[in-house]
Structure formats: C-alpha cells, structure tokens
C-alpha cells in the first residue's frame, strides 16, 4: 500500500513539475477554449418541422412550436424552417435570441448557455463568426474576431482581475501578442491599436445583437390575428352552409279548402 501511494505521488509530482514554468493564464485560456468549443456547437435542429401549436405555423409569419427534442421555437417561420427573427429555447435551458436563416443561427444574436456563459455578436451558418463578445460565467471575457466558432483574428482576453492578453488568435489560441504586452518594435508584435479596433467592432456587434427586435409580442399578435381570422372563416362557412340548406316550409303540401 505504501509503495502504491509512493508511485502515485511520484506521478503527481511529475505532473506538477511539468506544469511549473507554464503561464497559468495560458492554462486558463486552453481550458476555456474547450468550453467555448462545446458551447459553440450548433443547435440540434431537426430537419423536420416542429410539432405545431397552431395550424398556420407553415406561413412566413411569426409562429410558435415545439420540436420532438423538447426544444421550443418562437419566431418567424418560412418554408418549414425558422427564418428571420426568433427565439430558440433548448430543453437544457440554454437559449438563442436573434436572426435565423433557413433553420440555423445566421446574422446577429445572443446565446445564453446553460453553464452561465453568454455570447453576443455575429453568426454565420450556425456558428459564432465575425465579431462578438464571449463572457464566461467566471468573469473572464473575450472581445474580438471569430471564425467558425473559435477565436480567430485580432482580439483581447480580459481576466476577471482586470489583466488582459491581446493580439492575434489562431484556432482559439493567442499566437502573437500586441505591442501592449511585449517590447514595442518587435518584429512579431501586432499593433495594439488594430486590436482595439477589433474590440470596438465586437462591442458594436454585441450592441446590435441585443437590439434585435423581440419576437414575443409579434408572435402573440400574430396568434391573436390568426385566431380571429380562423373564427371569421368558421362563421362564414356556417353561414354559407345554412344558405345551401333548403327551407323545409317550401316543401310542405298546400292545403286544399
């Protein structure tokens, strides 16, 4: 038993020595990159339409329905797909509010993940792509460029204690620091002013994403209008049917006095 503990302790000590000398910030960034990849996975949108709550769900108007997965969609709908502005609430509690195109997140929107993380900004083909801000539940934040769901391009990572790491990101990893972080004039440095421009673009995209019109009111109004139209159609159908029914009095034989 003692030997076993000794061997285990040796392995732990080797792991500790391997971690020594490594920048703890890089370890945090590497760990959180996995979290971003998992959170940025596309919504599990089924190819078939949701189980509808209203018979007019297939019209290119605000609609509301529930997928067989338990997810709920409320928003604009066209050709059997979410298209336009909408809200997709997953069964696990995560939620996306923003623009859709042919059934996927596309345009501006903000996503609230079940682990407390949030992203607001640009989407392309169901992934974070363009400029946006990703806020971690632990207080850390990344502002800058994205490519297919990963940090790519110019951006700045701010730790919850206020410290920052800025520069060029490649596949989610900071590979070139800006002049703010290293000696100015270095051949491998990125001009920090360009990074700040990217940060401003990300913040503007975030503001636009949160300004995306709420669809709840539009959906409710559309439901009310659809119900009113359906009732009017039923009344008209009943009246038309009544007109086609012959008057029984006309069929009675005449009395002969």
Domain range annotation of the chain: 20-244
Q: Which comes out higher in pLDDT, residue 77 or 108?
A: 108
Distances in whole angstroms, Cα of residue 11 to Cα of each of 2, 17, 88: 14, 10, 46
- Select the more confidently predicted residue: 225 or 123: 123
Residue 163 has pLDDT above 50, yes or no: yes
Higher-confidence residue of 188 and 192: namely 192
Q: Please, which pLDDT band fits residue 39 given cuts at 50, 70 and 90?
A: low
Q: What is the DSSP letter of 229?
A: H
- Residue 256 in this model has a pLDDT that exceeds 70: no
Indicate if the pLDDT at residue 157 is higher than 70: yes
2 pLDDT band, cuts 50/70/90, is very low
Of residues 86 and 117, the one with the higher pLDDT is 117
Split at pLDDT 50, 70, 90, the class of 257 is very low
The Cα–Cα gap between 121 and 107 comes to: 8
Express as a percent the part of the chain with pLDDT over 70.
60
Has residue 247 got a pLDDT over 80?
Answer: no
Provide the phi-psi class of 50: left if phi over 0, else alpha when psi is between -120 and 50, else beta: beta
Architecture of domain 20-244: Single Sheet (2.20)
pLDDT of residue 252: 46
Tokens of 222: 């559309």
Average confidence (pLDDT) over 125-136: 97
Identify the pLDDT of residue 132.
98
- Strands 150-158 and 51-52 turn out to be unpaired
> Rounded to an integer, what is the distance from CA 225 to the centroid of its chain?
29
Q: Is the pLDDT of residue 71 over 70?
A: yes
């Amino acid at each position: 038993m003692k030997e076993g503990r000794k061997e285990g302790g040796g392995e732990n000590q080797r792991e500790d020595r391997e971690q020594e000398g490594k920048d703890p910030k890089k370890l945090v960034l590497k760990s959180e990159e996995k979290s971003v990849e998992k959170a940025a996975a596309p919504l599990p949108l089924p190819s078939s339409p949701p189980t509808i709550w209203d018979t007019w769900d297939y019209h290119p108007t605000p609609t509301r329905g529930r997928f067989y997965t338990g997810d709920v969609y409320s928003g604009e709908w066209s050709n059997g797909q979410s298209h336009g502005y909408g809200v997709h609430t997953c069964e696990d509690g995560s939620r996306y509010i923003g623009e859709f195109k042919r059934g996927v997140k596309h345009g501006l929107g903000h996503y609230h993940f079940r682990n407390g993380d949030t992203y607001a900004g640009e989407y392309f083909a169901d992934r974070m792509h363009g400029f946006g801000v990703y806020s971690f539940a632990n207080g850390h934040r990344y502002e800058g460029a994205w490519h297919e769901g990963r940090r790519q391009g110019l951006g700045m990572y701010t730790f919850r204690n206020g410290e920052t790491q800025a520069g060029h990101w490649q596949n989610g990893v900071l590979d070139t620091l800006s002049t703010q972080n290293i000696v100015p004039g270095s051949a491998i440095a990125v001009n920090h002013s360009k990074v700040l421009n990217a940060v401003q673009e990300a913040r503007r995209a975030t503001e636009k994403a949160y300004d995306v019109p709420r669809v709840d009111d539009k959906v409710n109004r559309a439901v009310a209008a659809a119900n009113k139209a359906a009732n009017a159609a039923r009344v008209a159908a009943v009246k038309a049917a009544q007109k086609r029914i012959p008057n029984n009095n006309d069929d009675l034989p005449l009395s002969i006095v």
